[in-house]
């Protein structure tokens, strides 16, 4: 792991259910963990949706291992990098050595 290549500050957000004073439940994204990461462009792909071809921007983020990141579910987190938001498609524990984690992501369209 090259520490000097970790030059991007990102925030991992969790999807949580918040209850307001009236008892209504709403889903919100809350900041969970902020760290430095190494971004690697992993090539995009194209998907067919409703008769149109949409391109997806894929990127991998490698972060140093932290105990609070152990056991994360890729369906309940996303990554925010500046104004861009990335959906996490998979989490790679990098050989289970507890040195780094790799988040495989796709850029979310707004």
Specify the CATH number for the domain of residue 36: 2.40.10.270
Three-state helix/strand/coil letters over the chain: CCHHHCCEEEEEEEEEEEECCCCCEEEEEEEEEEEEEEEEECCCEEEEECCEEEEECEEEEEEECCHHHCCCCCCCEEEEECCEEEEEEEEECCCCCCCEEEEEEEECCC
Structural domain for 96, as ranges: 3-107
pLDDT along the chain (110 residues), means of 10: 85 94 94 94 68 77 93 93 93 91 89
pLDDT at 3: 78
């Amino acid at each position: 792991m090259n520490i000097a290549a970790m030059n991007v500050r990102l925030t991992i957000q969790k999807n949580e259910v918040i209850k307001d004073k009236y008892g209504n439940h709403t889903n919100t994204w809350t900041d969970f963990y902020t760290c430095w990461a190494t971004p690697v462009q992993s090539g995009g792909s194209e998907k067919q949706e409703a008769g149109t071809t949409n391109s997806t921007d894929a990127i991998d983020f490698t972060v140093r291992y932290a105990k609070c990141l152990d056991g994360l579910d890729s369906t309940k987190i996303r990554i925010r990098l500046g104004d861009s938001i990335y959906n996490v498609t998979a989490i790679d524990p990098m050989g289970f050595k507890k040195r780094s984690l790799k988040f495989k992501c796709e850029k979310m369209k707004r």
